[in-house]
């Protein structure tokens, strides 16, 4: 075969390949927004604590059963949110990279969750102030304090209490608020970390209303509900603890 014919053959084959890739890409792009539209209802439709909690539970069930179906049309939603936000849940959780509330709760998209994250989901001044902003100014009707299984910060606090292993640097100061919780869970033996995770979430949720008159008044009026939760990083399931 002459060099010119060979070159033309290669060019034709490359064109067919590129055309196939283009069609496949267009199909994928075209299908994504349609699926997203079915899984991302408007955040303004949630106005009560009960509605917000129900949506979180439904979203987590969707995440557990079919995580790949949790997608959002971010391009369209981003434009809609340029003028403001109306998150229907405020969530204090851990910085752990395996714990992403937007995914854990069924692909909740931009503008739906007002999230505060730190190691150990500790209720410090910054976290409490952010929760007050979320509930008072953004009108978020639900507050969730969510711990998770195998939490590193909780494990460090447990090791300090049981083994005298004090973390260095600022980590030691960071886990100090968790130490009293460890002591209250100490009789659990091998289940110390798991029980501390649970009690730490409950303790944080209880303290919110105790330490914030803003949130306390909103809770008393029925406008806001505060709950605790524990996320299992293996199963993907969230256990909600509503009776505090």
Q: Is 96 annotated as a binding residue?
A: yes
Q: Where are the domains of the chain?
A: 1-39, 43-241
Q: Is 2 annotated as a binding residue?
A: no
Confidence (pLDDT) at 219:
98
Q: Is 213 annotated as a binding residue?
A: no
Q: Is 151 annotated as a binding residue?
A: yes
Helices (H), the chain: 3-39, 49-65, 74-80, 101-104, 125-132, 152-163, 169-175, 179-184, 192-211, 213-221
Model pTM? 0.80
Confidence (pLDDT) at 28:
37
Q: Which stretches of 111-164 are assigned E, i.e. beta strand?
A: 113-117, 142-148
Architecture category of domain 43-241 in CATH: 3-Layer(aba) Sandwich (3.40)
Contacts with 239 (C-beta within 8 Å, 6 or more apart), sequence order: 229, 230, 232
pLDDT at 23 over 80: no
Confidence (pLDDT) at 187:
82
Mean pLDDT on 32-46: 49
Confidence (pLDDT) at 152:
98
Confidence (pLDDT) at 24:
41
- 144 strand-pairing partners: 91, 227
Confidence (pLDDT) at 33:
37
First to last CA, the chain: 81
Q: For 128-162, what is each residue's pLDDT tens digit?
A: 999 999 999 999 999 999 999 999 999 999 999 99
């Amino acid at each position: 075969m002459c060099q010119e014919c060979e070159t033309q053959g290669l060019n034709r084959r490359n064109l067919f390949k590129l055309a196939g890739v283009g069609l496949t890409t267009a199909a994928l792009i075209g299908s994504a927004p349609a699926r997203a539209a079915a899984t991302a209802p408007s955040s303004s439709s949630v106005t009560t604590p009960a509605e917000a909690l129900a949506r979180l539970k439904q979203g987590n069930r969707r995440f557990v059963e079919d995580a790949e179906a949790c997608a959002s049309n971010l391009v369209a939603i981003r434009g809609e949110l340029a003028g403001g936000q109306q998150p229907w849940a405020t969530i204090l959780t851990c910085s752990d990279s395996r714990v992403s509330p937007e995914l854990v709760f069924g692909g909740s998209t931009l503008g739906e969750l007002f999230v505060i994250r730190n190691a150990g989901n500790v209720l410090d001044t910054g976290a409490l102030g952010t929760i007050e902003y979320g509930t008072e100014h953004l009108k978020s009707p639900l507050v969730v304090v969510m711990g998770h299984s195998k939490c590193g910060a909780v494990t460090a606090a447990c090791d300090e209490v049981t083994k005298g292993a004090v973390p260095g640097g600022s980590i030691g100061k960071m886990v100090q608020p968790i130490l009293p919780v460890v002591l209250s869970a100490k009789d659990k033996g091998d289940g110390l970390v798991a029980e501390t995770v649970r009690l730490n979430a409950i303790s944080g949720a209880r303290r919110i209303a105790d330490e914030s008159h803003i949130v306390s008044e909103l809770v008393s009026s029925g406008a806001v509900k505060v709950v605790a939760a524990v996320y299992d990083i293996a199963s993907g399931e969230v256990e909600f603890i509503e009776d505090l």
